[in-house]
Structure 1
Amino acid sequence: MPRLLVIGAGTGGLMVANHVARALERELADGRVAITVLSDRDTYFYQPGLLYVPFDLMRPSELTRPVRSLLHRGIRFVHDRAERIDAAARRVQTRSGATLDYDFLVLATGSDVDVDSVPGLAAGGHWFYTLDGALRLREALRRFQGGRLVMAVGLPHKCPVAPLEFTFMFDEWTRRRGIRDKTEIVYTFPINRAHSIEAVGIWAAEEFERRGIQLETFFNLEEVDPDAREVRSLEGTSFRYDLLVAIPPHKGDRVHKESGLGEQGNWLPTDRHTLNLKDHPEIFVVGDATNLPVSKAGSVAHFEAEVVAENLINLLTGEPPSHLYDGKVFCFLEAGLDKATFIQFDYDHPPVVAPPTQAVHWFKQTYNRVHWLNLQAIV
């Protein structure tokens, strides 16, 4: 009986497991295939929704579901943490001391903010990439009556357009409250433009100029001085702030390094088309954990999960893998509180940014509410 083990119950992990389970329902029921999902979290968290929490546009209760409720009934769920992956033995050791053997493994371990990598940030700044951070930022916005907001972006980070979205939403939020004339907005980015994707950077710079937002490039976040209320860069520039919103650098799960599988930053070396871990045809990687030159975003995990699931269905039924990932990315980009645009690209086709519209904004809001069906491979 072939055994599939999925580590991680985020977007990529849930979609892979559910897609395979729905395709192989008879095999699962008859005991001819086994699927296990291992995660140290028993609650799924819809991370893109955190962008809206600081503006009181979504409640935390709207962003969570029990993992078990999102899994196909034929899937075994183990609430535990993977401590070590023995790729040679095809075995995973967990924190509780359990051993999980597999024939095929999916690493959907995601990424997390590394706040401590920036001295002073924990005490002097805010962020919205965690629930606690988003709630703290919500309280800060409720108190904000004007002053200088600095958006300081660190690299790498997931949901790459989210810092731009927050900045545009904040700009409009201050205008609606009648405090934009008392507010200065500074956006910093580590390279020579406003975003790592050239087309997005050009579009954002034009929007910044139109809206009176200051852009500071070549600003690599080095440290925060909470007492002086100042954020400093490796290049020697600094800004005083009244409100600092930072995007901490991200890193992959420590189990990658501890298992001898991860590279710098704990990212996993992944084949850009097959999504196999380097030198391991029985291991697949989806979502933020890869080292691929595509965005660390939910849509990427979605498209990768579809490819991996199809290949696993083949492998679990004795057929060779047949699908390849083409680098497809699709990201909505809020351009304020009621308009949005989107970018779509792949390995061979660069993105083009269309003018924002209300229709795209409402498409994004709709997706926020049907996302649960995608996770369950229902749509």
Structure 2
Amino acid sequence: MTRIVVVGGGTGGTIVANRLAEKLDPEIAAGDVTVTLVTDDPKHTYKPLFLYVAFGKREPEQARRPVDELLDDRVDLKVDRVVDVDTDEKHVERADGKVLPYDHLVLATGAKVVPEETPGLKEGGHHFYGAEGAEALRDELADFEEGHLVLSVVGTPHMCPAAPLEFVFMVDDWLRERGRRADVDITYTYPIGRAHGLEAIADWATPRLEERDIAIETFFNATEVDPEERVVSTVEGTELSYDLLVAIPPHRADDLAVDAGLTEDGWVDVDNETLEAASAEDVYVIGDAAEVPTSKAGSVAHFEAGVVADRLASRVRGRTPTARYDGKTVCFIETGMDEATFVEFSYGEQPALPDPSRFIHWAKLSYNESYWLTAKGIL
């Protein structure tokens, strides 16, 4: 029997488990293959919706659904935390002490925000990378009528690289609709010498930020936040005062990969095309935890999951895998409250961005509603 274990119930883990169930249906029915998904959260979270929560356009519960409702019945679901991976003996250990042996392992453990790593940031800043943070930011924005609003990208890499730009474009529109924009200064900071990691997006965004009177501070690497004085200090020796700080906090991968000896910094080195871990056999890593030269975005996990499912199905059947991930990434970018654009690119490519439109904005909203079909492996 071939045992496939998937760790993580987010986008990557759920899609790969569902795709495996579909592709290996005959083998599962015959008892020759098992697919097990282990997750420590019984709810699956669609994180991009939290940006809309901050503006009162969505409620946090709309971003979460039970994993068992999304998972194919042919997948064995275990709700528990994996606390150890032994890549030599090829098994994972759960928090309840049970050990699951595997022949093939897929790690889809994602990323987490750690604002506490920057002194004062947790106390002095807001973010929209979770339900609690998005709700707190929503409440803060509701009463924010004047002053200096700063969006600071404190940590890279981070989930959804377009989100910082989306926020400033949306908050600019949101404030204008309420007649507050003239009394609010907005500053956008980024840690390198341009407004985004991808040159094409930076070149597209910069004139649009300037047109909207959104100040840009580059080479801005925050080291400390003073919540009482409301000042951000940087490694470059500069300071920036604020009245409302919205930060993209530092991100870290799950400690599991470090504890398993797969990496030293949490992001796992993989083959960029096969997603196989560099330091262990029969281990694949997808989604935010994988260190590949593209975005930490849901679409990346989606496309990676399809490749890994294809490769594992081939291996189970004794064939040479041919599926390869080419770095495909697709991402919508909200440019206000009712317009958006999008990017699509692969490894080594720079995207071309179409003019923002209401049509693309509604396409993004439509995808937000149909995402659950993607998680089920249908789209």
Preserved contact between residue 50 and residue 131 of structure 1 (Cα < 8 Å): yes
Question: In the aligned structure 2, how far is the partner of 1:279 from the partner of 1:161?
Answer: 31
CA–CA distance in structure 2, aligned partners of residues 268 and 74 of structure 1: 29
Displacement, 1:29?
Answer: 2.3
CA distance in 1: counterparts of 2:350 and 2:378, whole angstroms: 30
Partner of 1:128: 128
Cα root mean square deviation, aligned: 0.9
Q: Distance in 1 between matches of 2:318 and 2:286?
A: 22
Task: Using the TM superposition, name which of 343-352 and 181-190 deviates more.
Answer: 343-352
Amino acid in the other structure paired with 1:177: R
Question: Which string of whole-angstrom CA distances, capped at 9 and with x for unpartnered residues, describes residues 249-308 of structure 1?
Answer: 1111001111111132x1001100111000434111110001111000000001111111
Residue aligning to 2:245: 244
Residue deviations 1:154-209 (CA, integer Å, cap 9, x gap): 21211000010011000000000000000000001000000000011111111111
* Structure 1 position 145, deviation (Å): 1.0
The answer as to 2:289 corresponding to 1:289 is: yes
1:46-85 equivalence runs, <5 A: 46-85=46-85
**Quick check: 2:147–2:185 contact (8 Å CA) kept in 1?**
yes
Moved over 4 A (4+): none
Structure 2, gaps ≥5 residues long: none
Question: Percent of counterpart pairs with the same letter?
Answer: 46
Matches within 5 A, 1:146-161: 146-154=146-154, 155-161=156-162
1:84 deviates by: 1.0
1:194-233 superposed matches below 5 A: 194-233=195-234
**Could you say what secondary structure the match of 2:167 adopts?**
helix
Aligned residues of 1:263 and 1:269 also touching (Cα < 8 A): no
Q: How does 1:32-181 map to 2 (within 5 A)?
A: 32-154=32-154, 155-181=156-182
Corresponding residue of 2:350: 350
Q: C-alpha displacement at 1:69, in angstroms?
A: 0.8
Q: Distance in 1 between matches of 2:166 and 2:325?
A: 27
Q: Does the 8 A contact of 1:42 with 1:67 survive in 2?
A: yes
Give CA deviations for 1:41-91 in whole Å, capped at 9, x if unaligned.
Answer: 110010011110010111112111101111100111111111111001111
Spell out, residue by residue over 1:224-262, the C-alpha distance to the aligned partner (whole angstroms, 9 max, x if none).
100101111111111111100000011110011111111
Q: Report the more deviating stretch, 279-288 or 164-173.
A: 279-288
Once the two structures are TM-superposed, the CA of residue 312 in structure 1 deviates from its matched residue by: 1.0
AA in 1 matched with 2:96: S
* Worse overlay, 150-159 or 165-174: 150-159
SS in 2 for 1:136: helix
Number of equivalences: 378
Is the CA contact 2:262–2:280 (under 8 Å) kept in the aligned structure 1? no
**2: distance between equivalents of 1:146 and 1:30?**
66
Question: What is the letter of the counterpart of residue 301 of structure 1?
Answer: A
For residues 336 and 10 of structure 1, the distance between their equivalents in structure 2, rounded to whole angstroms, comes to: 28
Deviates more, 1:231-240 or 1:266-275: 231-240
Counterpart in the other structure of 2:277? 277
Q: Output the amino acid matched with 2:34.
A: A
The one-letter code matched in structure 1 to 2:308 is V
Report the TM-score when normalising by structure 1.
0.98
Find the aligned partners of 1:305 and 1:33 in 2 and give their Cα distance: 18
User: Counterpart of 1:128 in structure 2: which amino acid?
Assistant: F
On the 8 A contact 1:40/1:80 being kept in 2, the answer is yes
Q: Which residue of the partner structure matches residue 372 of structure 2?
A: 372
SS of structure 2 residue aligned to 1:280: coil
CA contact (8 A) 2:87 2:281 kept: no
* TM-score (structure 2 length as normaliser): 0.98
Letter in 2 for 1:106: V
